[in-house]
Amino acid sequence: MEAWFVSDIHLKTAEERNGQILLRFLRSLLQKNPQQVHLFLLGDIFDLWIGGHDYFVKKFQPLIDALVDLKKAGARITYIEGNHDVHIESFFQKKLGAEVFVEAQYYQLDGLILRCEHGDLINPDDIKYLKYRSIIRNPYIKPLGNILPGRFWDYLGNKASKNSRHRSAQFRSAYEQKLVQMIRDHALRAYQEKPFDIIISGHMHVFDDTVVRIGDKEVRSVNLGSWFEEKVKIFRLRDGQGDWVEIG
Ligand SMILES: [Mn+2]
C-alpha cells in the first residue's frame, strides 16, 4: 500500500505552477499501480471550492480529469475538507466517488493507526476562525453553497483569502515556533481522544515531522506545511514507513 498526503496547495487556477505540479503528480500515480494507491487530500487543495458547482469543476478541469482517471483505475481517494474547500461532497463524493469528510478520520495502514485531519482545530486561540467555522459549517448555510452562483463565492473567497493570507503571513514569521508547539500539543490532545501511531494534518503552513512522547508511547506527528515553497514535497507512507518525496 502506498498512501500520499497532500494539503494546502491553495490553487487559484489549474495553470499556475502548483496546478501543473499537482497534475504531473496525479498522472505519475496513474503510472504506478493505482489499485495500491490511497490518495489523501487533506484540505485547502483549492483556494476556493464551495458546493457542487460546475463552475469549479470547469475551472480546475484538467486536475479533475486526472482525479477521475485515478479513481477509475482503482485508487482510493479520501478528501477531508479544509476551510477553503467547503461542502464539496456533491461533486467529490457523489460524482467522483471519493470519500469526503470534515472532521478527523482514523485509518489502519500497514499495521499503523493513522489519524488524518485538515488541522483547522489545532489553534485554540484562533477565536475569529472558530467563529467563521461554526458559520460555514452550519447546516442552514450549507444549501447556499449550491444556490448562490460559483462566481459569487469566487469573489468572496478571493477577498477572504487575501485578508487571511496577510494575517497569517505576519503571524507565521513572528510565531512559527509557537505554531509548531501548537501542532505538537494538538497531537497530545488528539491522542487522549483516541490513540494512534501517526497524526497527519495541514492548515498551519509549517512543515513539522517529529516524535511526540506520550507516557511510554512514541507517536509521529506530521504537519504537511504548504506548497508555497520553492520545492514541493509530499508525505508518503509506504509499507509502514513514512518519508517525504520532493516533486516538481
Ligand atoms: Mn486551512
Going from the Cα of 99 to the center of ligand 1, the distance in angstroms, rounded, reads 19
* Amino acid sitting at position 151: R
Domains of the chain by range and CATH? 2-247 (3.60.21.10)
Nearest in space to 10 (alpha carbons), one of 177, 158, 221: 158
Distance, in Å, from the CA atom of 142 to the CA atom of 147, rounded to the nearest integer, reads 9
Judged by DSSP in three states, 154 sits in helix
What is the DSSP-derived secondary structure letter of residue 199? Answer: E
Going from the Cα of 170 to the center of ligand 1, the distance in angstroms, rounded, reads 16
Distance, in Å, from the CA atom of 120 to the CA atom of 83, rounded to the nearest integer, reads 7
Going from the Cα of 33 to the center of ligand 1, the distance in angstroms, rounded, reads 30
pTM for this structure? Answer: 0.89
- Measured in residues, the chain has a length of 248
Distances (CA, A) of 84 to 1, 111, 184: 29, 32, 23
Grid coordinates given for 115: 489519524
Q: Which residues have beta carbons under 5 A from ligand 1 (an ion)?
A: 44, 82-83, 203
Reading the chain (248 residues) residue by residue, the pLDDT tens digits are 899 999 999 999 999 999 999 999 999 999 989 999 999 999 999 998 988 889 999 999 999 999 999 999 999 999 999 989 999 999 999 999 999 999 999 999 999 999 999 999 998 888 888 887 887 787 777 777 666 777 776 666 666 565 555 566 666 576 788 899 999 999 999 999 999 999 999 999 999 999 999 999 999 999 999 999 999 999 999 999 999 999 98
Is the distance from CB of 82 to CB of 8 less than 8 angstroms?
A: yes
